[in-house]
């Protein structure tokens, strides 16, 4: 295997509930998992019904081209179908973009504390990473623009970002896009877009029409509640979409996922409930952190990054109390934990366990 593959630190997913229950001798049903930025409402009922109806066709391959799902996305985002790439989760989109655009001898730019898959995808193709120091835990877009080198082919931006929850306003992203050399592709990852408050929302798809070097990435894993099914998609002009389509595995999105995604995209009611429960839960957690005198990064996503001191110890004590959160030492944040927003009762379980876990 190439040296650059040997050097990759594998992705660390949150431990499954069952595994932790066995390890810590806990009752599985009583465990609260606030570790993977999942939707606490679970999956939409509309998607469940669509999947059940699609079950009879599982003996056949899925539609490799995802015609019906692309038609739904095309309608909702007002783009032609040949501007859409479907992914097995948006992680797949990020990987496809890296494979299509990067090779050894070239570089990708991304921010310190930005989503770990940018590093993994860059390393997997043997390209060089240019990691730009964060500013106030977020993307320093001016510094990222300045960090672009002649061999840079891709810039990854997460907006909002995971694990910090920071957000760059539309004008800042737009100015960045306008300033990037046309032969550098910007992958704008908007996995948490649907959690933005109405006043901050903007039509980022208009940038896809304006900038031929933009790949916009979205996911059904968060506000749409389909993390387990693995559906994401990219919007980009036909030339970039054509490149990604060469790299994409045939049948990368399975038939149940395609059916469920069509239903979820049309379920405005579920989306609104996801937003609302997240808004309230986030306010509750941030207020509680204020009361405890804990520093946190004001979040635009469905999670909050909070400074707890010895995060490894606090994480461990929370686990023993049946609450799973996410350590972020791997990001270079050993004093911080990332807590996903749960249902009201889940947030309360976490907050009830927190003071003791902090050793107070």
What is the sign, positive or negative, of the torsion defined by CA atoms of 247, 251, 254, 257? positive
Structure tokens at 295: 């520093």
| Of 39, 122, 162, 258, the one binding ligand PMP by CB under 6 A | 162
Segment contacting ligand PMP by CB under 6 A, of 55-63, 77-85, 133-141, 219-227:
219-227
Segment contacting ligand PMP by CB under 6 A, of 87-95, 193-201, 237-245, 326-334:
87-95
8 A C-beta contact, residue 119 and residue 154: no
Interaction with ligand PMP in 9-48: which residues (CB under 6 A)? 37
| Of 96, 144, 158, 186, the one binding ligand PMP by CB under 6 A | 158
Count the alpha carbons within 13 Å of 148 in the hemisphere toward its beta carbon: 20
8 A C-beta contact, residue 338 and residue 304: yes
Among residues 189 and 267, whose Cβ is nearest to ligand PMP?
A: 189
| Of 164, 166, 219, 258, the one binding ligand PMP by CB under 6 A | 219
The answer to whether 189 contacts ligand PMP (rule: CB under 6 A) is yes
8 A C-beta contact, residue 166 and residue 192: no
8 A C-beta contact, residue 158 and residue 114: yes
8 A C-beta contact, residue 95 and residue 124: yes
The answer to whether 191 contacts ligand PMP (rule: CB under 6 A) is yes
Binding residues with ligand PMP: total (CB under 6 A): 13
Interaction with ligand PMP in 112-151: which residues (CB under 6 A)? 115
The answer to whether 95 contacts ligand PMP (rule: CB under 6 A) is no
The answer to whether 227 contacts ligand PMP (rule: CB under 6 A) is yes
CA nearest to 337, candidates 312, 319, 320, 357 = 312
| Of 66, 89, 225, 281, the one binding ligand PMP by CB under 6 A | 89
Pattern of binders to ligand PMP over 228-257, x per CB under 6 A? Answer: ----x-------------------------
Among residues 115 and 289, whose Cβ is nearest to ligand PMP?
A: 115
Helices vs strands, H then E, count in the chain: 14, 13
Give me the least distance between CB of 320 and ligand PMP, in Å please. Answer: 25
Give me the least distance between CB of 116 and ligand PMP, in Å please. Answer: 8
- 303-307 and 336-340 beta bridge pairing: antiparallel
Interaction with ligand PMP in 299-338: which residues (CB under 6 A)? none
Using CB positions, name the residue nearest to ligand PMP. 89
Among residues 282 and 321, whose Cβ is nearest to ligand PMP?
A: 282
Among residues 62 and 89, whose Cβ is nearest to ligand PMP?
A: 89
DSSP conformational letter for 159: S
Identify the bridge partners of residue 187 per DSSP, sorted by sequence position.
156, 215
Give me the least distance between CB of 267 and ligand PMP, in Å please. Answer: 18
**Using CA atoms in the order 337, 230, 260, 83, what is the torsion angle rounded to 10 degrees?**
110
Give how far Cα 267 sits from Cα of 232, 260, 264, 270, 304, Å.
16, 11, 5, 6, 26
Give me the least distance between CB of 120 and ligand PMP, in Å please. Answer: 11
Q: Which value, in Å, is the radius of gyration of the alpha carbons in the chain?
A: 20
Segment contacting ligand PMP by CB under 6 A, of 74-82, 83-91, 98-106, 270-278:
83-91
- Block residue for tokens 């949150």: 14
Quickly count: other Cβ atoms within 10 Å of residue 86's Cβ: 27
CA nearest to 251, candidates 100, 92, 124, 101 = 92
Give the distance from CA 94 to its chain's centroid: 10
Residues near ligand PMP, by CB under 6 A? 37, 89-91, 115, 158, 162, 189, 191, 219, 221, 227, 232
């Amino acid at each position: 295997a190439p040296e650059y593959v040997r050097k990759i630190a594998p992705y660390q997913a949150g431990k499954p509930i069952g595994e932790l229950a066995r390890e810590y001798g806990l009752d599985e049903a009583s465990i609260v998992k606030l570790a993977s930025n999942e939707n606490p409402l679970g999956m939409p009922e509309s998607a469940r019904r669509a999947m059940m109806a699609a079950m009879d066709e599982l003996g056949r391959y899925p539609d490799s081209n995802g015609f019906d799902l692309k038609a739904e996305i095309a309608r909702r985002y007002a783009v032609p179908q040949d501007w859409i790439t479907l992914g097995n989760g948006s992680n797949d989109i990020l990987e496809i973009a890296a494979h299509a655009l990067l090779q050894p001898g070239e570089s990708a730019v991304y921010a310190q504390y930005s989503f770990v898959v940018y590093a993994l995808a860059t390393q997997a193709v043997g390209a060089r990473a240019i990691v730009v120091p964060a500013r106030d835990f977020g993307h320093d877009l001016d510094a990222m623009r300045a960090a672009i080198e002649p061999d840079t082919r891709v810039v990854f931006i997460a907006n909002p970002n995971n694990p910090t929850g920071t957000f760059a306003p539309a004008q800042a992203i737009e100015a960045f896009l306008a300033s990037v050399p046309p032969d550098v592709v910007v992958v704008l990852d908007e996995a948490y877009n649907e959690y933005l408050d109405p006043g901050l929302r903007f039509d980022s798809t208009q940038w896809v029409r304006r900038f031929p070097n933009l790949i916009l990435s979205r996911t059904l894993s968060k506000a749409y509640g389909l993390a387990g099914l693995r559906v994401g998609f990219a919007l980009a002009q036909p030339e970039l979409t054509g490149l990604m389509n060469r790299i994409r595995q045939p049948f990368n999105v399975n038939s149940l996922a395609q059916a469920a995604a069509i239903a979820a995209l049309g379920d405005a009611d579920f989306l609104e409930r996801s937003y609302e429960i997240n808004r309230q839960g986030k306010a509750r957690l941030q207020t509680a952190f204020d009361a405890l005198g804990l520093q946190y990064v004001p979040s635009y996503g469905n999670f909050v990054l909070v400074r707890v001191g010895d995060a490894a110890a606090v994480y461990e004590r929370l686990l023993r109390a049946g609450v799973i959160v996410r350590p972020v030492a791997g990001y270079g944040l050993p004093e911080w934990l990332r807590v996903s927003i749960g249902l009201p009762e889940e947030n309360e379980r976490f907050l009830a366990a927190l003071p003791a876990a902090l050793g107070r």
